[in-house]
Amino acid sequence: MLFAIVIIVDAMVGEQGLVAIRQARRQHDELVATIERKRAENTALGEHVQRLQHDAGTIEELARKNLGFISPGEKVFIVKDLPPHAQP
């Protein structure tokens, strides 16, 4: 009887036991999800690279946004924030 109990306990919590298998499955599922997220991110970055290499509009948009570039003939208006009015 004691031998049977030892075998059952070992099957449940041993190195190849049920608990270890469940942990390995959970870790596997997490890794699969991480891989899928990285693949999607990689695809999006590849598309962005293609747009940067072949689409002048994308480059212009980024130059305007990040570097403050303007096109010839455009006028720039700088609006300064006014300090809040003093309350009476």
User: In this model, does residue 55 exceed pLDDT 60?
Assistant: yes
User: In this model, does residue 6 exceed pLDDT 90?
Assistant: no
**Which has more pLDDT, 6 or 62?**
62
CA–CA gap between residue 28 and residue 35 (Å, rounded): 10
> Which helix (H) or strand (E) element contains residue 60?
helix 56-67
pTM of the model: 0.56
Is 11 within 8 Å of 18 (Cβ atoms)?
yes
pLDDT of residue 14: 66
CA–CA gap between residue 39 and residue 47 (Å, rounded): 12
Annotated domain spans of the chain? 16-82
